[in-house]
A = this chain, B = another copy of it.
Amino acid sequence: MTPDAANGGEGRAAEERELAEAAPFSAEERAAVYRAIVTRRDVRDEFMPDDVPDDVLRRLLEAAHHAPSVGFMQPWNFIVIRDAAVRSRVREAFERAAAAEAEMLEPERREQYRSLKLQGISKAPLNICVTCDRARHGRTGLGRTQQPDTDLLSTACAVQNLWLAARAEGIGVGWVSILREPDLRAILSIPSEIAIVAYLCVGRVARAYVRPELEVRRWARRLPLDDLVFADRWGAAAPFPRERE
C-alpha cells in the first residue's frame, strides 16, 4: 500500500476543506468587473502629480501577484520607480526609440505618429518595470517544457491584473513599449538573465478617454468581435449568431 492510499480518507477530508463555493457574482459585482475591463484605458497624458499612497500601491502589486502563472512559477518582479532622475533617463531612452520607430513606419503614417502622445514617464508620479525571472524554479518547470514562453505570458497576465485593479482605484496605467531593452536594462541595473516584460506609467487620473485613445485619434478602429471568433477550427463561422451591426 502506498502512503497515499493509507492516507486516503484523511487526504480527501483535507482536500474538501480546500474547496469553496464558486457561484456567479451578484449582478452588481459582475457589473463592476466588466466596468473595470471595459473602461480601462492606456493612459499617456491624464496623470495627476499626486503620489500614489503606499497602501494603494501594495494593493495593485498584490493584484499583479495573484495572476495565474505556469506551474505556479510566479516569475515576476516589480521595480517601482519614483526617482525623477531615473524616470528622466527612461524618457530620454523613449525619445530615441520613438525617433527610430517613426523612421520604420510607412511614410504616410509618420506625421500622425509624431503627433501622438505615447508616454507619461515623467508626468506620472511613478513607473513600474515588470520583469520575468525565466529560471526562477529551474529551466524545466511544469507546463514549460513544450511551451517555454508561457512564463512571459504569465507575467503579462500580472500586468493586466494590476491594470484592472488600478482602474478600480481611480489610478491610470500606460504601457510604454517604445523602449529598447538594453537601455532599460542599463538604467535599472537589470541582470542579463531577467527578461523585461513591461514598463508602466502609473498615477491618479481624474478623467480618461471613453474610447481607446488610438481610436479617438484615428490610428486604428476596434474590430468587430464576430470577425475574430471561429467554431471548432480556424476559419469556420463563429459558434453564435452575429450581432446586428
In which size bucket is the chain A interface?
35 or more
Contact of A207 among B19, B42, B154, B191 (CB under 8 A): B19
Copy number of this protein in the oligomer? 2
CB neighbours of A150 from chain B (8 A): 177
Q: In whole angstroms, what is the CA distance A34 to B37 when docked?
A: 13
Contact of A30 among B34, B57, B83, B168 (CB under 8 A): B168
Contact of A100 among B146, B208, B231 (CB under 8 A): B146
Query: Are B220 and A146 in contact, with the CB atoms below 8 A?
Result: no
CB neighbours of A18 from chain B (8 A): 209-211, 216
Which positions in A face B, CB cutoff 8 Å?
4, 15, 18-25, 28-42, 46, 54, 57-59, 61-63, 65-68, 70-74, 76-83, 86, 97, 100-101, 104-106, 113, 115-116, 118, 131, 137-138, 140, 142-147, 149-150, 152-157, 159-161, 163-165, 167-170, 172, 175, 177-181, 187-191, 194, 197-198, 205-212, 214-216, 219-220, 222-223, 225, 228-235, 238-241, 243
Query: Are A146 and B180 in contact, with the CB atoms below 8 A?
Result: yes
